[in-house]
């Protein structure tokens, strides 16, 4: 027997179809059973009439419970009253896997749904989000592959930190300890002397101790590192990537975005270039609104939100204070107290989606910065070799994939962007 998807069967529109999936809803009378079947593509109403089927099939229909898996054969036809506009008049039905009383019913708390995440993934909401998630990964790969980049990987076990010690996960490594990676960047900088243009999409681990709606302890970062690229070049690459992801998701997932309540027209307007504003200008802008930040302090979520609210597109904030930036972000020769670095902030309060910079090539400058941050430069000797043997200007950035998904899917919390979220408070299921 050949099965087609619910969506395909609706496209066919008439005649006999074989479909399979799970029971989304069921309701019986003594003459009829109404089964709404779902597969990954759609839901459809299937009607079993006692007078139309054998006693065996009717008895099977009476055993159908929510979330049991089923194979159904029947005649499909348009029906305005049915939930998705089509109805199947069932001639044959088989339960493949019975289902106990399904624990998820209407109006359950977010914590209950997270405890039952393995089952909640079946919901139409999670189904829509995970389809967008898949598209975002595809879009990133397509963007870089079409430009001739190589996809490469760095180790997940790392002897040093990249983003600073406070968020490191320590793991036992035989008789020693190592850390779970926070970013592929340092290794990527070694790889570009061979491959020049590279990217990755990989998990990153950060022990984020504050409870926010934007931080996971395990998340996926899309990172690129590009030889010969100067600051201006990397800004352009970053905004082109984000514009491309939006275009790709609009082309492939309009239905899901609408289902999730996203404003399609608003997204359609987001095209590169994006507004650029320096850190110092941000402080001046915020001062006008009565928000005073001392020059040299990093921008916090509230300040990012306040500035991004003024724009309909993502914005690029450049030239943060050098002394609060990671050691590899170089000072701007035209304004040495600032660094050639940037953050991209999404609109609608979704926060920072990209962090990037040109990379310092001056070993002494980097050593000085490491010492200032309480790090041991000796641990980075291999990294300094990348500068010792034929250094070139280069730049890169990391995009938080889940942050982008949360924004595109119009979600309140980053936890819903990933099948099984990991945060300080949650490591199961
Ligand atoms: P934030 O200030 O929001 O903590 P960050 O400055 O630590 O971000 P980067 O180190 O620049 O972030 O990492 C690159 C990108 O990875 C960020 O722009 C963001 O989109 C994403 N990201 C960082 N930390 C997390 C996290 N804990 N969970 C999900 N995404 C994250
Ligand atoms: Mg952080």
DSSP string, 159-227: SS-SS-GGGPPEEEETTEEEEE-S-SHHHHHHHHHHHSEEEEEEEEE----S--SS--SEEEEEEEEEE
Query: May I ask the CATH class of domain 6-97?
Result: mainly beta
Distance between Cα 400 and ligand 1 center (Å): 6
Phi, psi angles (nearest 5°) of residue 362: -95, 110
Residues with CB under 6 A from ligand 1: 163, 206, 208, 214-216, 219, 221, 351-355, 398, 400, 402-403
- From first to last of the 429 residues of the chain, give the pLDDT tens digit: 899 999 999 999 999 999 999 999 999 999 999 999 999 999 999 999 999 999 999 999 999 999 999 999 999 999 999 999 999 999 999 999 999 999 999 899 999 999 999 999 999 999 999 999 999 999 999 999 999 999 999 999 998 766 667 899 999 999 999 999 999 999 999 999 999 999 999 999 999 998 889 999 999 999 999 999 999 999 999 999 999 999 999 999 999 999 999 999 999 999 999 999 999 999 999 999 999 999 999 999 999 999 999 999 999 999 999 999 999 999 999 999 999 999 999 999 999 999 999 999 999 999 999 999 888 999 899 999 999 999 999 999 999 999 999 999 999 999 999 999 999 999 999
Tell me, which fold does domain 117-417 have in CATH?
A: BirA Bifunctional Protein; domain 2 (3.30.930)
Domain ranges of the chain: 6-97, 117-417
For atom 12 of ligand 1, the residue with the nearest CA is 355
Q: How far apart are CA 420 and CA 429, in angstroms?
A: 7
Q: Which of 162, 183, 221 to mutate to test the pocket of ligand 1 (most atoms within 8 A of CB)?
A: 221
Of 398, 415, 418, 423, the one to substitute when testing ligand 1's pocket (max ligand atoms within 8 A of C-beta) is: 398
Q: Which atom of ligand 1 has the smallest separation from the CA of 352?
A: 18
357 CA distance to ligand 1 middle (Å): 14
Spatial separation of the C-alpha atoms in residues 105 and 123, rounded to whole Å: 11
- What is the number of the ligand closest to the CA of 317? 1
Record the pTM.
0.97
């Amino acid at each position: 027997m050949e099965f087609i998807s619910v969506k395909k069967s609706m496209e066919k529109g008439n005649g006999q179809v074989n479909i399979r999936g799970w029971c989304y809803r069921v309701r019986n009378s003594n003459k009829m059973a109404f089964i709404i079947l779902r597969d990954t593509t759609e839901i459809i109403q299937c009607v079993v009439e006692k007078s139309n089927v054998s006693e065996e099939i009717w008895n099977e229909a009476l055993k159908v419970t929510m979330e049991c898996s089923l194979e159904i054969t029947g005649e499909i036809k348009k029906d305005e009253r049915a939930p998705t506009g089509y109805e199947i008049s069932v001639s044959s039905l088989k339960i493949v896997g019975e289902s106990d009383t399904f624990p998820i019913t209407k109006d359950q708390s977010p914590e209950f749904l997270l405890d039952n995440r393995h089952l909640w993934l079946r919901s139409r909401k999670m189904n829509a989000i995970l389809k967008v998630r898949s598209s975002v990964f595809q879009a990133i790969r397509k963007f870089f592959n079409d430009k001739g980049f190589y996809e490469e990987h760095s180790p997940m076990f790392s002897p040093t930190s990249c983003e600073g010690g406070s968020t490191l996960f320590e793991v036992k490594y035989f008789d020693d300890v190592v850390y779970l990676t926070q970013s592929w960047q340092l290794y990527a900088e070694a790889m570009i002397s061979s491959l020049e243009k590279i990217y990755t999409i990989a998990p990153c681990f950060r022990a984020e101790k504050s409870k926010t709606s934007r931080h996971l302890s395990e998340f996926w970062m899309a990172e690129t590192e590009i030889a010969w690229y100067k600051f201006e070049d990397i800004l352009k690459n970053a905004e082109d990537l984000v514009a491309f992801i939006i275009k790709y998701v609009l082309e492939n997932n309009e239905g899901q975005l609408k289902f999730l309540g996203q404003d399609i027209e608003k997204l359609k307007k987001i095209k590169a270039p994006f507004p650029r504003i320096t850190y110092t200008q941000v402080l001046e802008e915020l001062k006008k609104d009565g928000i005073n930040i001392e020059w040299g302090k990093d921008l916090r979520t509230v300040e990012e939100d306040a500035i991004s609210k003024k724009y309909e597109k993502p914005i690029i904030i450049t030239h943060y204070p050098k002394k609060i930036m990671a050691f590899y972000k170089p000072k701007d020769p035209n304004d040495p107290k600032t660094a050639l670095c940037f953050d991209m902030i999404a609109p609608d309060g979704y926060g920072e989606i990209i962090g990037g910079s040109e990379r310092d090539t001056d070993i002494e400058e980097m050593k000085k910065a490491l010492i200032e941050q309480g790090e041991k430069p000796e641990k980075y000797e291999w990294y300094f070799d990348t500068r010792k043997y034929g250094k070139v200007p280069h730049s890169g950035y990391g995009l938080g994939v889940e942050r982008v998904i949360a924004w595109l899917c119009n979600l309140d919390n980053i936890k819903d962007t990933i099948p099984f979220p990991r945060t300080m408070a949650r490591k199961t299921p």
